[in-house]
Amino acid sequence: MAKDRSQREDYTAPLRRLLLGALLLCLLGIFLVWRIDSPRVERFRAQVTDKVVPSMEWAMVPVTATINLFRDFQSYQRLSEQNRELRSELRQMRAWKEAALQLEQENARLLDLNNVRLDPQLTYVTGVVMADSGSPFRQSVLLNVGARDGIVDGWAAMDGIGLVGRISGVGQNTARVILLTDAASSIPATIQPSGQTALIAGDNTAAPVLDFLENRELVRAGDRVITSGDGGVFPAGLLIGQIAQDPSGRLRVRLSADYERLEFLRVIRHLGNEQIDTPGNIVTTDPVDNGAAQVVEDEEVVDG
């Protein structure tokens, strides 16, 4: 046994040395090949690397998936934040849109007020409707103009299109407007093109009644109704509305003023029609003087 072990060691020792020397020579050769700067050697090194070095794609698959999952989570967080910001901006834009629509409507009504054509001799004061005291028994609105602005009881009030009512009660800073639809309102009017005169009487409905019409046969639905100026309360020519007929056959007036949106009213300054107190002033003085001279001559002839 001892002899066999010694013989085995005698064979293995030189073989180990031989293998170690070969390994060192290979490592030295690899080192030298890796250090040589030559295009051919470089191509050889690339080929050796492609053949020897194993592919690591299978090992990078879970790492790449984890990185992509982390990136997707970060992207989801950013999208969630952007979504919240966009929702907040959308709410703000809706509020701005509502404010813009209100301003647009207000601007349109103010433009309507400015575009109404009136007699150049008539001036006006524009007021804001502060309160609406409409009820089944009384329909009126309150304006923020009053005696300090020169408002006088009885003056006409218009919106951007037609007549709304008349001033009935003036305070220092406010004034009340009785609407044409109020039961206490009666307005003399003229119907065009027939020229018929009538009385617009309110009955607490949206369309006042047309009373005291001279000849109904000359009036048609759709005829224009304006103020006549009779009585000196309202100036003539203010638009009231159009003729309409209710189911019972009674004539009414479809008002041109928008009673659903009374925000601004124009109070027309009207001092009434000029009245002639001394009719003799309309006769020229020259004919009077000639007549007096003729009377004097006749008296001289009689005396003679």
Tell me, yes or no, whether 44 lies in a domain: yes
Tell me, yes or no, whether 14 lies in a domain: no
Burial class (CB in 10 A: 0-12, 13-18, 19+), 191: buried
CA-based nearest residue to 189, from 156, 142, 140? 156
Tell me, yes or no, whether 65 lies in a domain: no
44 and 143 together in one domain: no
What is the number of structural domains in the chain?
Answer: 2
Whole-angstrom distance between the N-terminal and C-terminal Cα of the chain? 205
40 and 163 together in one domain: no
Single-letter amino acid code for the residue at 34: W
132 and 256 together in one domain: yes
Residue length, the chain? 304
CATH of the domain at 152: 2.40.10.340
Tell me, yes or no, whether 296 lies in a domain: no
**Cα Rg of the chain, angstroms:** 53
157 and 242 together in one domain: yes
CA-based nearest residue to 254, from 242, 239, 264? 242
Kindly state the DSSP code that residue 184 receives in the 8-state scheme: T
Tell me, yes or no, whether 75 lies in a domain: no
Domain end point (choices 10, 39, 54): 54
Q: What is the pLDDT of residue 7?
A: 61
235-270 b/e (C-beta count within 10 Å ≥ 16 → b): beebbbbbbbeeeeeebbbebbbebeebebbbbbeb
43-78 b/e (C-beta count within 10 Å ≥ 16 → b): eeeeeeeeeeeeeeeeeeeeeeeeeeeeeeeeeeee
262 and 137 together in one domain: yes
User: Which residues, at least 6 apart from 196, have a Cβ–Cβ distance to it below 8 Å?
Assistant: 190, 213, 214, 215, 218, 219
Q: What is the pLDDT of residue 296?
A: 41
Inter-residue long-range contacts of 178-185, CB under 8 Å, 24+ positions, other chains counted: 178/139, 178/140, 179/134, 179/139, 179/140, 179/141, 179/259, 180/208, 180/240, 180/255, 180/257, 181/139, 181/205, 181/206, 181/208, 181/255, 181/259, 182/138, 182/139, 182/140, 183/137, 183/138, 184/138
30 and 161 together in one domain: no
pTM exceeds cut of 0.75: no
Tell me, yes or no, whether 97 lies in a domain: no
181-190 b/e (C-beta count within 10 Å ≥ 16 → b): bbbebbbbbb
Tell me, yes or no, whether 88 lies in a domain: no
Burial class (CB in 10 A: 0-12, 13-18, 19+), 126: middle
Q: Which domain holds residue 150?
A: 124-268
Tell me, yes or no, whether 194 lies in a domain: yes
130 and 264 together in one domain: yes
DSSP secondary structure letters along 114-141: HH----TT-EEEEEEEEEE---SS--EE
Per-residue pLDDT of the chain (304 residues; tens, 9 = 90+): 555 556 666 667 777 888 888 888 888 877 777 677 777 777 776 777 766 666 666 667 777 888 888 888 888 888 888 888 888 888 888 878 777 776 766 666 665 556 555 566 677 888 888 877 655 556 889 998 999 988 988 899 988 778 999 998 899 989 999 999 998 889 899 998 888 899 999 988 889 999 888 888 888 888 989 998 887 778 888 889 999 988 888 899 999 888 888 888 889 887 765 555 555 554 444 544 444 444 444 444 334 4
